[in-house]
Amino acid sequence: MKAPLLTVESVSKRFGATQALKDASFTIRAGTIHSLVGRNGAGKSTIVNIIAGIYKQDKGKILFEGKDLTPYSVFERQKMGIRIVPQQASIVPELTVAENMFLGVWPKKKNGFVDWKLLFSEAAVELKKYGLDAAPKDKFKTLNAVDKRKVNIIRAMYGGAKLIILDEPTTALTSVERDELFTFVNELKANGTAFIFISHYLQEVVDLSDEVTVLRDGLSFPGSDGEELKEEKLSRLIAGEDVEIFRRTQHAHNNKKQVKLECKNLCGSILKNVSIKLYEREIVGIVGFPGSGARELCRTLFGLEKMTAGSIIIPGKGNLSIPNPTVAMKNGISYLSNDRYKEGIIQLMSIVENISLPLLTSILKTKLGLVDKKKANKNAQNYFDYLKVKANSVFDKAGSLSGGNQQKICVAKTLGPSPDILNLDEPTIGIDIKSREEIIEIIDQLTVEKNISVLYLTNDFDELVRITDRIVFFHNGKLMRDVYNNNLSHEDVIKIRDEVKDEASMAGMEACFGG
């Protein structure tokens, strides 16, 4: 058996009255992938920050290659080979791939100026070494999502990483992109690099891990061989109880049901003659590869992408033009973005301020044009309790919350304007399993109790088949197939998605060759 690379021995950490960690212990060996799983607030971020040197433990010790890390700074630990690739990596989209790869350590000439020739040549070597199909001078923003993740990992490897901490690396990736990232990680693992993998997607954890440590209420439970674990068993370990997996009772629409939203021949930058009806109390799943039109439909309906032709019709309101989100919300349409950092929360603002943002010019506005703070606080507290947000109060900064609780704040913002139609783009992304099931059930309740209709976009197909009544499949800007969810499985969705892609490819070939 390989010697331990990292040993965590009885580590404890308290923040005020909160016991974040209590005697946490586990071991990581070189060339292995060790997953840390647990609910939001279970202690995952705390232990990672202690390993990296950002926090100091109150008790216990951490050994790296036999050395006690206690006296070493963050920078010294990085030089020793401990690197974090955070969920939101420090990158500058407008800079090149090479500039981002060496951000903070650009090579210098003797005169102190950046040695651009060396920077780009070194980047070319690294990109070739790790098989990344990108040019050093490409703008970072032009890379696809998985290549962006790879560049951040390559940056860690260039810095001499022996242990890389991957914090929710698959967030917002498609299943295909996830597989590509895992292949890349496994190649590095085979060459001796160790990984700490943090994810709320338990099947990923089971598939990828050599060992797993469960954190619950600050306590750690011994790691287990990933191949021996089942997702259901992990769920129970994480929650400390049996987690009930929610499944919606599917609602088949009929001629008596009211149409809540209709698109006729809708066109946009990607969308091509999309026609779809959304009925009252219905949840329609949307499936498609990046750039297929799936996400673009949601964003067009909320005024974030331009509609160039066609119609958006809401009964009683007629044929609508939706040039911006304000108009969308006035017409009862809300949108939850898949990117909570750019389009969801403002981290430096409090929970109550974030939840209040969509309501400042409407229900929270007084006759004098001021914000009714008492009403805002009450509204935020209602959602705080309803969504079971884990924080001290609604006055905590949003940036101080775990990723899952930040996502709950985004959900609260979406529900704030009391919409008739919800566009949900990855609504449970980065949320632990119990919170995920709570949110799925809440969405189901909203359709029944509030008569809300939902467009539901997610790459978690197990989740998709449990919550939707109907699923539409997009490819190349077109709605290719509309399928009732008669007990569809995860595998059924993948099969139909791939069939749709093949059909579109065949149609394209026939058009080219006159077939």
- Torsion angle, CA of 294/299/302/308, rounded to 10 degrees? -90
The predicted structure's pLDDT at residue 107: 86
All structural domains of the chain, each given as residue ranges with its CATH number in brackets, are: 1-81+162-243 (3.40.50.300), 89-159 (no CATH), 253-332+417-515 (3.40.50.300), 345-416 (no CATH)
Cα–Cα distance measured from residue 477 to residue 186, given in angstroms and rounded to the nearest whole number:
34
How many angstroms separate the CA atoms of 446 and 72, rounded?
Answer: 51
Cβ atoms of 161 and 193 within 8 Å: the answer is yes
The Cα–Cα gap between 164 and 182 comes to 14
**Stretch (H or E) spanning 504:** helix 490-513
The secondary structure of residue 277, as a DSSP letter, is E
Cα dihedral sign, 253-256-257-263: positive
Helix axes 231-239, 433-449, angle to 10 degrees: 90
pLDDT score for 28? 95
Q: What is the pLDDT of residue 206?
A: 86
Q: Model-level pTM?
A: 0.64
Give the pLDDT of residue 96. Answer: 94
Residue 203, helix vs strand vs coil:
helix
| Residue the block writes with tokens 């998709």 | 464
Beta bridge partners of 12: 59
Q: Where do runs of H (alpha helix) occur along 14-144? A: 44-52, 74-80, 97-101, 116-129
Q: What are phi and psi of 61, to 5 degrees?
A: -150, 160
Query: Tokens 């309101």 identify what position?
Result: 317
Rounded Cα gap, residues 224 and 383, in angstroms: 37
Residues 142-195 have pLDDT tens digits of 998 889 999 999 999 988 999 999 988 887 677 788 899 999 999 999 999 999
Give all strands of the β-sheet with 274-279 in edge-to-edge order: 274-279, 259-268, 307-314, 318-320
How far is Cα 458 from Cα 466, in angstroms, rounded to an integer? 12
DSSP-derived letter for residue 138 is S
pLDDT of residue 309: 95
Q: What is the pLDDT of residue 510?
A: 53
The pair of three-digit structure tokens given for residue 353, joined into one six-digit string: 């301020």
Backbone angles phi, psi at 470, to 5 degrees: -150, 150
Residues 6+ apart with CB under 8 A from 199: 35, 37, 168, 169, 170, 205
**Four-residue CA torsion sign, 328, 331, 334, 335:** negative
d(CA 429, CA 422): 16
Q: What is the pLDDT of residue 436?
A: 83
Q: Which segments in the chain show pLDDT lower than 70?
A: 1-2, 88-89, 172, 222-230, 240-243, 252-256, 430, 504-515
C-alpha gyration radius of the chain: 24
The pair of three-digit structure tokens given for residue 122, joined into one six-digit string: 């070194």
> Would you state the pLDDT for residue 256?
66
